[in-house]
């Protein structure tokens, strides 16, 4: 790092699925010392990433809120990342460490990759992996995601119905992410494939408001952004224990 | 928990990919207080999971080493888990908390699921999700695992050649895990599919001995168990920056 001694490191900081206790020791140490934090935030309202980080912030940091339309299925415009990268680069050049707060892991469907592409080669950028919602949802459901030589498919729900069906065809387990307004469509696909009874719905895993239920019990056409379906095509993976018991991840 | 007041909780404790700083705050707190730790270990030698936990252990815990053949592609015999579950249950019944140490996340190809199946319903069992090697390898490679509506396939290398090829067919990105002695076979599949130049090899992510390289530069027929291939089928995901720069996750 001698060549960069004037620069502050920019950290892509994975903060995990929501429970502030699931922040890693490494991420917590960086939150404690970073002069600047930057985070995605809705156009109006609180940033979920900042909420996860909050208990670990000593206070007094400079804050860069990257406001964007986090609405269903929208991808933010390039200029939002251009502006944010410019602001972050200025802090790095001034010798200040910048922690970019990321829900889950920075590189697993994370928007940090768009900042990474703009900042790499211009300042030191490092990644701290975080607990992903993919694992947290399976753990919350009390149901192993994958065993032995299972193939897992991770499928975004915004894909067209026929594509979701095709991608579900050849795997032992699947996680269907980014449900939002696509829940109804995905349920229809699973009904046609006779997989509804093999599917669990998990919402806000690791948070106080966490919900786990069989998809068959979940009605409506939409779901929050922070929700996921877990499909286990092998019957033995589903097991015989009651949903209620496994959904608490704890059995008496 | 009132009904279980005599029982100690059994924790499936995700410890992350290897760097002890990537242990979560929650897992570290449980390691600090648990009266008993249990962990998978080779028939002869040190347990990797215990090595990750070591800096967080105050000392003086009772230890249950679950010795098994961790050799290439072998799945431990049922009686190993039967015996371990019996020993862990006895500790729980005696009111002692038991931390079962798990590399990565407990339910992502983790052997903890076999203990979970044996213990659920007999004592309180809870899961603490951990940072998965899947995310840690992508972060180490400086290369986002998935963007936007990419489908990701996670494929175990022990599968037959034709099956690996078929499962690679319909995804934008893939992680091929459990390489071991299957590296040569997997390379042949990727060569036939013209994907070698789109594949990175990552070994021991987050450890001091971490290696990241293009698969084209990686020779030989086998690799350590703690290694992975990351395949990005979309050209733009590969990017134009040099492997050397991205492999350090840091660019000057």
pLDDT of residue B211: 95
**In the predicted model, what is the mean pLDDT of residues A95-123?**
95
Strands (DSSP E) found in chain A: 10-14, 36-42, 62-68, 98-102, 125-128, 152-156, 173-177, 199-203, 211-214, 227-232
Nearest to A148 among B75, B146, B252 (CB): B75
Residue B193 lies in a domain: yes
B6 with B80, same domain: the answer is yes
Residue B252 lies in a domain: no
- Residue ending a domain, among A131, A149, A177, is A131
- Residue ending a domain, among B97, B131, B165, is B131
Residue A252 lies in a domain: no
Count the domains in chain A: 2
**In the predicted model, what is the mean pLDDT of residues A173-177?**
96
- What is the residue-averaged pLDDT of chain B? 89
Domain that holds residue A41: 2-131
pLDDT of residue B234: 79
pLDDT of residue A147: 86
Q: How far away is chain A from the Cα of B173, in angstroms, using its nearest Cα?
A: 10
CATH code for the domain of B98? 3.40.1010.10
Residue A22 lies in a domain: yes
* Interface test mutation site (partner A, options B53, B78, B107, max chain A beta carbons within 10 A): B107
Cross-chain Cβ contact A156/B151 below 8 Å: yes
Residue B223 lies in a domain: yes
**In the predicted model, what is the mean pLDDT of residues B42-53?**
94
Give the pLDDT band of residue A155 (cuts 50, 70, 90).
very high
Among A22-31, B169-178, B225-234, B238-247, top mean pLDDT goes to A22-31
B142 with B175, same domain: the answer is yes
pLDDT of residue A211: 95
B124 with B240, same domain: the answer is no
* Interface test mutation site (partner B, options A74, A89, A108, max chain B beta carbons within 10 A): A108
pLDDT in tens, B108-135: 998 899 999 999 999 999 999 999 999 9
Cross-chain Cβ contact A16/B3 below 8 Å: no
Rounded-to-integer distance, Cα A135 and Cα A175, Å? 10
CB contact at 8 A, A182 and A210:
no
More confident residue, B44 or A123: A123
B119 with B12, same domain: the answer is yes
CB contact at 8 A, B145 and B207:
no
Rounded-to-integer distance, Cα A226 and Cα A224, Å? 5
pLDDT in tens, A39-83: 999 988 999 999 999 999 999 999 999 998 776 556 777 899 999
Q: Kindly state the tokens that stand for B37.
A: 């730790």
- Residue ending a domain, among B72, B103, B131, is B131
Order across the sheet with A199-203: list the strands: A211-214, A199-203, A227-232, A173-177, A152-156, B152-156, B173-177, B227-232, B199-203, B211-214
CATH code for the domain of B166? 3.30.950.10
User: What is the ipTM metric for this complex?
Assistant: 0.91
């Amino acid at each position: 790092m001698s060549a960069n001694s004037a620069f502050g490191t920019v950290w892509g900081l994975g903060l995990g699925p929501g429970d502030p206790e699931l922040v890693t020791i490494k991420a917590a140490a960086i939150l404690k010392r970073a002069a600047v934090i930057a985070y995605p935030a809705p156009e109006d309202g609180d940033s979920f990433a900042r909420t996860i980080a909050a208990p670990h912030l000593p206070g007094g940091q400079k804050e860069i809120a990257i406001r964007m339309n986090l609405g269903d299925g929208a991808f933010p415009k390039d200029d939002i990342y251009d502006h944010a990268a410019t602001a972050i680069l200025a802090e790095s050049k001034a010798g200040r460490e910048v922690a970019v707060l990321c829900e889950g892991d920075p590189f697993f469907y994370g928007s940090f990759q768009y900042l990474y592409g703009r900042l790499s080669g211009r300042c030191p950028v490092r990644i701290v992996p975080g607990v992903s919602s993919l694992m947290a949802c399976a753990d919350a459901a009390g149901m192993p995601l994958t065993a032995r030589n299972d193939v897992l498919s991770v499928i975004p729900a915004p894909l067209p119905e026929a594509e979701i069906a095709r991608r579900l065809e050849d795997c032992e387990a699947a996680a269907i992410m980014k449900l939002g307004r696509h829940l109804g469509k995905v349920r229809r696909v699973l009904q046609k494939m006779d997989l509804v009874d093999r599917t669990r719905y998990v919402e806000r895993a690791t948070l106080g408001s966490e919900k786990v239920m069989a998809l068959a019990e979940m009605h409506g056409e939409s779901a929050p952004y922070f929700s996921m379906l877990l499909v286990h095509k092998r019957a033995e993976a589903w097991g015989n224990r009651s949903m209620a018991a496994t959904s608490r991840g704890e059995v008496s």
